């Protein structure tokens, strides 16, 4: 059930789509002020200031956060510290990225209100509404959670893989100065000379998408507002990216984040997943991605 957050369904239902740089919902002041204040000031969201990385991990563990596999992140503390302290490039880092962070998900909120909001994002009513809003007809599976992302978390510009049907992100950052910190999602477009990539993806829905270099895109806006939610259905031009560079000992980038995933068998993809080098035609034509390799 959605109580006490049933009013959020009306907010989403009545929201108009922003179309720049791609169709999405962007709602500011999403939660009632009293609800938002209670949530961000809860022990689930606001952790004590840590004196060092080990103490931060202890605070995260005590609050019920567990490290999780996540794009742009590692679960290895040793690998993360080598990058953090000695600038050793992580082994699994994407060639389009400079860094790699760590991501954590809250297993069970201790605050009743945080727990109720988590249940709202897991509710059948929420899923049914956003599926209808974005005209999603194929069966999907939900993956919601309350996440914290540490310094270094990075995903370079991409429109999301074809298997993803929907994404939502609600900023519940505990820092008063959160909107000025360097950890927000970029909403982007391809630069004019690279715009052919979106056309390839638009015309070939059976070829998966991939991460691209930052220099191939330009930021149109960022999701900086606290207590704001962004909801979008990935398509060929839904370029977005994140690069977090901030002091995670004093505060952490925190979001109610979720995806809807198409169930197995949707969509039907052919061949290998292309890499950005398949589209690097500038300065000399190379072989592009093929539908069936």
Is residue 285 included in any domain, yes or no? no
Q: What is the mean pLDDT of residues 252-277?
A: 87
Is residue 195 included in any domain, yes or no? yes
Structure tokens at 249: 């000992």
Domain of 43, CATH number, reads 2.60.120.620
Q: Is the pLDDT of residue 221 over 80?
A: yes
Q: Is the pLDDT of residue 281 over 70?
A: yes
pLDDT single digits (tens) 48-91: 999 999 999 999 999 999 999 999 999 999 999 999 888 888 77
Q: Is the pLDDT of residue 265 over 70?
A: no
CA gyration radius, the chain: 19
Is residue 145 included in any domain, yes or no? yes
Neighbours of 113 (CB within 10 A): 18
Is residue 191 included in any domain, yes or no? yes
- The number of domains in the chain is 1
Q: Is the pLDDT of residue 140 over 80?
A: yes
Is residue 140 included in any domain, yes or no? yes
pLDDT at 93: 86
Q: How confident is the model at residue 282 (pLDDT cuts 50, 70, 90)?
A: low
Q: What is the mean pLDDT of residues 286-292?
A: 40
pLDDT at 268: 74
Q: Is the pLDDT of residue 288 over 70?
A: no
Q: What is the mean pLDDT of residues 23-41?
A: 98
| Long-range residue pairs from 138-143, CB within 8 A, at least 24 positions apart, any chain | 138/165, 138/262, 138/263, 138/266, 139/262, 139/263, 139/266, 140/165, 140/166, 140/260, 140/261, 140/262, 140/263, 141/260, 141/261, 141/263, 142/258, 142/259, 142/260, 142/261, 143/258, 143/259, 143/260, 143/261
Specify the higher pLDDT residue, 272 or 30. 30
Q: Which structural domain, as residue segments, surrounds residue 42? A: 7-265
Q: How confident is the model at residue 239 (pLDDT cuts 50, 70, 90)?
A: very high
Q: Is the pLDDT of residue 290 over 50?
A: no
pLDDT at 1: 57
pLDDT at 270: 75
Question: Is there a contact between 159 and 234 (Cβ–Cβ < 8 Å)?
Answer: yes
Question: Is there a contact between 162 and 265 (Cβ–Cβ < 8 Å)?
Answer: no
**Rounded distance, CA 42 to CA 57, Å?**
18
Structure tokens at 68: 């999780």
Q: Is the pLDDT of residue 291 over 90?
A: no
pLDDT at 119: 97
End-to-end CA distance of the chain: 47
Q: How confident is the model at residue 284 (pLDDT cuts 50, 70, 90)?
A: very low
pLDDT at 226: 98
Is residue 283 included in any domain, yes or no? no
Q: What is the mean pLDDT of residues 192-210?
A: 94
Q: What is the mean pLDDT of residues 162-183?
A: 97
Q: What is the mean pLDDT of residues 93-119?
A: 95
Is residue 272 included in any domain, yes or no? no
Rounded to the nearest integer, the mean pLDDT of the chain is 93
Is residue 286 included in any domain, yes or no? no
Q: What is the mean pLDDT of residues 118-128?
A: 97
């Amino acid at each position: 059930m959605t109580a006490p957050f049933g009013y959020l369904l009306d907010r989403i239902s009545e929201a108009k789509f922003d179309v720049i740089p791609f169709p999405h919902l962007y709602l500011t002041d999403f939660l009632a002020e009293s609800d938002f204040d209670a949530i961000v000031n809860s022990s689930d969201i606001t952790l004590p200031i840590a004196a060092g990385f080990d103490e931060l991990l202890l605070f995260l563990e005590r609050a019920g956060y567990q490290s999780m596999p996540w794009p742009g992140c590692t679960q290895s503390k040793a690998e993360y510290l080598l990058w953090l302290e000695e600038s050793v490039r992580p082994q699994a880092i994407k060639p389009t990225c400079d860094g790699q962070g760590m991501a954590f998900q809250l297993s069970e909120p201790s605050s009743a209100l945080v727990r109720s909001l988590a249940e709202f994002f897991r509710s059948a009513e929420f899923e049914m509404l956003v599926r209808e809003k974005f005209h999603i007809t194929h069966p999907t599976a939900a993956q919601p959670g309350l996440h914290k992302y540490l310094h270094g978390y990075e995903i370079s510009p991409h429109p999301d893989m074809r298997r993803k049907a929907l994404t939502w992100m609600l900023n519940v950052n505990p820092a008063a100065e959160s909107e000025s910190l360097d950890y927000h999602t970029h909403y982007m477009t391809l630069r004019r000379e690279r715009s052919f990539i979106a056309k390839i993806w638009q015309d070939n829905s059976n070829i998966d998408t991939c991460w691209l270099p930052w220099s191939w895109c330009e930021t149109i806006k960022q999701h900086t507002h606290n207590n704001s939610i962004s909801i979008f259905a990935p398509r060929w031009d839904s370029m977005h990216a994140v690069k977090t560079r901030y002091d995670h000992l004093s505060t952490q980038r925190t979001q109610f984040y979720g995806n809807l995933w198409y169930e197995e068998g949707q969509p039907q993809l052919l061949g290998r997943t292309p890499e950005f080098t398949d589209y690097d035609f500038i300065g000399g034509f190379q072989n592009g991605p093929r539908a069936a390799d």
